Structure 1
Amino acid sequence: MDWTLEVVVVPVSDLAASIAFYRDQVGFHLDHDTENEFMHVAQLTPPGSGCSIVIGNLPSQNEMAPGSLKGLQLVVSDAEAARAELVERGIEASEIMVIDERDGGTFFGFADPDGNTWAVQQIRARADKPLIPVEARGRFGE
């Protein structure tokens, strides 16, 4: 039996501002923004990822203080290009750090407006062999 990690709850204080940050600045896809009398949540997915983030006001989200999630990790094939994209979109990103010369040993980081932090790891092998093949991508039968 497969056990797949498909959603991570990220605690935020302002849903609209967080949607704008993750969608417009980081470049995640907005899968849905759902509001009714019981809740308001949004799901966003990084390009090429099988795991999404969910932000909003569900009980599990309200149990965590905004900004309390630290060290979420994204993987890219080119850290310099990824960092340049984020900086161009107005995100303050740390300098690139090489902690090991082998593939997978290069990182930089950034934080969302609430202080939730992200590490971005470079794995060059992902350029030729993505974790999820392009033809298998898409959410909810897209």
Structure 2
Amino acid sequence: MKLEVLVIPVSDVDRAKTFYKTLGWREDADFVGDENYRVIQVTPPGSPASVIFGTGLTTADPGSAQGLHLVVTDIEAARAEIADRGLEISEVFHDAGGVFHHAGTEGRVAGPDPKHTSYSSFASFEDPDGNGWVLQEITERLPGR
């Protein structure tokens, strides 16, 4: 099995579309069925999986999707690219526990993981509705990945 698509809840479809296109994500589709049904699909650069949002797609509250991870090979460069596009993004951080980040901002320690361990450095941002995204630096995958 492979993950193909994530559906995220948004309140303003056009605002979300502008945001994700500003991130540099490719617009794959913008299908309008009627005033109660619209599907927009965007894909992050280099990703085999896409993100869908629109009207009539989910009963989840706008902004309720949290912990959506995007894998990058250079956390500082990826963070800078998003900031250079004029979007808000956290500074690079690692977790006090050293394994995986906590929910919210609890346990965040400024800067990348001191040992630059793969899977251990992060930066976070939100879309206009508050759906939470996390950049995670992975330079060497775990065995079998």
Q: So what's the TM-score if we normalise by structure 2? A: 0.78
Candidates 28, 33, 45, aligned match of 1:31: 28
Structure 1: 5+ residue stretches without partners: 132-142
The structure in which a higher percent of residues are helix is 1
Alignment of 1:90 with 2:90, yes or no, is no
DSSP 3-state at the match of 1:36: strand
Q: CA RMSD for the aligned pairs?
A: 1.6
**Following TM superposition, by how much is the alpha carbon of 1:104 offset from its aligned partner in structure 2, in angstroms?**
1.7
DSSP 3-state at the match of 1:23: helix
User: What is the letter of the counterpart of residue 32 of structure 1?
Assistant: A
What is the correspondence of 1:3-42 to structure 2 with a 5 Å cutoff?
Answer: 3-24=1-22, 26-37=23-34, 39-42=37-40
**Following TM superposition, by how much is the alpha carbon of 1:39 offset from its aligned partner in structure 2, in angstroms?**
1.4
Q: 2:119: which partner in 1?
A: 104
Candidates 44, 67, 71, aligned match of 2:67: 71
Q: In 1, Cα distance between the equivalents of 2:65 and 2:123?
A: 17
**Following TM superposition, by how much is the alpha carbon of 1:125 offset from its aligned partner in structure 2, in angstroms?**
4.1
Candidates 124, 128, 134, aligned match of 1:119: 134
**Following TM superposition, by how much is the alpha carbon of 1:70 offset from its aligned partner in structure 2, in angstroms?**
0.6
Structure 2: 5+ residue stretches without partners: 96-112
DSSP 3-state at the match of 2:78: helix
**Following TM superposition, by how much is the alpha carbon of 1:89 offset from its aligned partner in structure 2, in angstroms?**
1.0
Residue identity over aligned pairs, in percent, reads 44
Q: 2:55: which partner in 1?
A: 57
Q: 2:103: which partner in 1?
A: none
Tell me the matched-pair count: 122
Q: In 2, Cα distance between the equivalents of 1:40 and 1:56?
A: 5
**Following TM superposition, by how much is the alpha carbon of 1:74 offset from its aligned partner in structure 2, in angstroms?**
0.2
The structure in which a higher percent of residues are strand is 2
Q: In 2, Cα distance between the equivalents of 1:47 and 1:122?
A: 15
